[in-house]
Amino acid sequence: MPKVTYIDHHGMATGVDVPVGENVMRGALYNNVEGIAGECGGALSCATCRCYVDDAWTVKVGGPASHEERELLADVVELDAAEGALARNVRLSCQITMTPALDGLVVHLPAKQFF
Ligand code: FES
Protein backbone atom coordinates (compact mmCIF):
# COMPACT_ATOMS: atom_id res chain seq x y z
CA MET A 1 0.00 0.00 0.00
CA PRO A 2 1.41 3.45 -0.86
CA LYS A 3 2.76 5.51 1.98
CA VAL A 4 2.25 9.24 2.52
CA THR A 5 4.39 11.30 4.86
CA TYR A 6 2.64 14.27 6.41
CA ILE A 7 4.97 16.90 7.88
CA ASP A 8 3.38 19.31 10.31
CA HIS A 9 4.32 22.96 10.70
CA HIS A 10 6.83 22.03 13.42
CA GLY A 11 8.58 19.62 11.06
CA MET A 12 7.28 16.45 12.70
CA ALA A 13 6.76 13.70 10.13
CA THR A 14 4.02 11.07 10.29
CA GLY A 15 4.01 8.30 7.72
CA VAL A 16 0.81 6.40 7.01
CA ASP A 17 -0.36 3.85 4.48
CA VAL A 18 -3.09 5.22 2.24
CA PRO A 19 -4.92 2.80 -0.07
CA VAL A 20 -4.85 3.29 -3.82
CA GLY A 21 -8.00 5.18 -4.79
CA GLU A 22 -8.26 6.98 -1.46
CA ASN A 23 -7.43 10.64 -1.21
CA VAL A 24 -4.70 12.27 0.84
CA MET A 25 -7.20 14.13 3.06
CA ARG A 26 -8.91 10.91 4.17
CA GLY A 27 -5.55 9.26 4.64
CA ALA A 28 -4.78 11.87 7.26
CA LEU A 29 -8.18 11.78 8.95
CA TYR A 30 -8.39 7.99 9.14
CA ASN A 31 -4.96 7.89 10.75
CA ASN A 32 -5.45 10.77 13.20
CA VAL A 33 -2.88 13.00 11.54
CA GLU A 34 -3.42 16.48 12.91
CA GLY A 35 -3.33 19.48 10.62
CA ILE A 36 -6.01 18.52 8.12
CA ALA A 37 -9.68 19.17 8.94
CA GLY A 38 -11.55 18.12 5.80
CA GLU A 39 -14.76 19.80 6.95
CA CYS A 40 -16.70 19.19 3.72
CA GLY A 41 -15.65 15.56 3.38
CA GLY A 42 -13.95 16.16 0.07
CA ALA A 43 -16.76 18.02 -1.70
CA LEU A 44 -14.41 20.82 -2.76
CA SER A 45 -16.22 23.44 -0.73
CA CYS A 46 -14.25 24.12 2.46
CA ALA A 47 -10.48 24.37 1.78
CA THR A 48 -9.72 23.00 5.25
CA CYS A 49 -7.64 20.21 3.77
CA ARG A 50 -4.93 22.27 2.20
CA CYS A 51 -1.40 21.07 2.05
CA TYR A 52 1.84 21.98 0.36
CA VAL A 53 3.16 19.23 -1.85
CA ASP A 54 6.87 18.62 -1.44
CA ASP A 55 8.84 19.92 -4.40
CA ALA A 56 9.88 16.43 -5.47
CA TRP A 57 6.23 15.42 -5.91
CA THR A 58 4.51 18.39 -7.53
CA VAL A 59 4.48 16.83 -11.00
CA LYS A 60 3.53 13.34 -9.87
CA VAL A 61 0.43 14.55 -8.02
CA GLY A 62 -0.87 15.97 -11.27
CA GLY A 63 0.72 19.38 -11.20
CA PRO A 64 -0.55 22.54 -9.59
CA ALA A 65 -3.99 23.07 -8.13
CA SER A 66 -6.89 22.99 -10.59
CA HIS A 67 -8.89 26.10 -11.37
CA GLU A 68 -11.60 25.01 -8.92
CA GLU A 69 -9.04 24.38 -6.17
CA ARG A 70 -7.38 27.72 -6.77
CA GLU A 71 -10.64 29.62 -6.60
CA LEU A 72 -11.44 28.06 -3.24
CA LEU A 73 -7.90 28.43 -1.93
CA ALA A 74 -7.67 32.07 -2.94
CA ASP A 75 -10.22 32.90 -0.26
CA VAL A 76 -8.18 31.42 2.56
CA VAL A 77 -4.51 31.26 1.68
CA GLU A 78 -2.06 34.10 2.03
CA LEU A 79 -1.27 35.47 -1.39
CA ASP A 80 2.29 35.95 -2.44
CA ALA A 81 2.80 39.70 -2.10
CA ALA A 82 5.04 39.97 -5.14
CA GLU A 83 3.12 37.75 -7.51
CA GLY A 84 -0.40 38.06 -6.18
CA ALA A 85 -0.61 34.34 -6.65
CA LEU A 86 -1.01 31.22 -4.59
CA ALA A 87 2.02 29.21 -3.62
CA ARG A 88 2.76 27.01 -6.62
CA ASN A 89 2.67 23.81 -4.58
CA VAL A 90 -0.50 24.40 -2.57
CA ARG A 91 -3.19 21.78 -3.12
CA LEU A 92 -6.40 20.60 -1.54
CA SER A 93 -5.47 17.17 -0.23
CA CYS A 94 -8.96 15.82 -0.93
CA GLN A 95 -8.22 16.31 -4.61
CA ILE A 96 -5.09 14.16 -4.60
CA THR A 97 -6.03 10.54 -5.20
CA MET A 98 -3.51 7.90 -4.29
CA THR A 99 -1.99 5.78 -7.02
CA PRO A 100 0.89 3.29 -6.83
CA ALA A 101 3.10 6.00 -8.36
CA LEU A 102 2.50 8.21 -5.32
CA ASP A 103 4.11 5.77 -2.91
CA GLY A 104 6.42 7.93 -0.81
CA LEU A 105 4.47 11.17 -1.33
CA VAL A 106 5.44 13.94 1.07
CA VAL A 107 3.06 16.78 1.95
CA HIS A 108 3.58 19.67 4.33
CA LEU A 109 0.73 20.88 6.51
CA PRO A 110 -0.03 24.48 7.45
CA ALA A 111 -0.10 25.74 11.02
CA LYS A 112 -3.86 26.14 10.80
CA GLN A 113 -6.72 25.36 8.43
CA PHE A 114 -9.16 27.94 9.76
CA PHE A 115 -8.78 31.71 9.58
S1 FES B 1 -12.14 18.53 2.37
FE2 FES B 1 -13.22 20.31 1.83
S3 FES B 1 -12.18 21.07 0.11
FE4 FES B 1 -11.03 19.30 0.68
56, with CB counted inside 10 A (0-12, 13-18, 19+), is exposed
| pLDDT of amino acid 15 | 98
Q: What is the DSSP letter of 56?
A: G
From 44, 71, 96, mutation site for ligand 1 pocket: most ligand atoms within 8 A of C-beta:
44
Ligand 1 pocket, residue 24 CB under 6 Å:
no
| pLDDT of amino acid 78 | 63
User: What's the pTM?
Assistant: 0.91
CB 52 within 8 A of CB 110: yes
Q: What does residue 73 show for φ and ψ, rounded to 5 degrees?
A: -65, -35
Domain contains 19: yes
Q: Profile the chain (115 residues) by mean pLDDT over runs of 10 residues.
A: 96 98 98 96 95 94 91 73 66 97 96 82
| pLDDT of amino acid 114 | 77
CATH code of the domain in which 100 resides? 3.10.20.30
Strand, coil or helix: 63: coil
| pLDDT of amino acid 71 | 87
Name the domain count of the chain. 1
Q: Which of 1, 83, 106 is nearest to 91 (CA)?
A: 106
Measured from the CA of 42, which atom of ligand 1 is nearest? 1
Ligand 1 pocket, residue 92 CB under 6 Å:
yes
Ligand 1 pocket, residue 25 CB under 6 Å:
yes
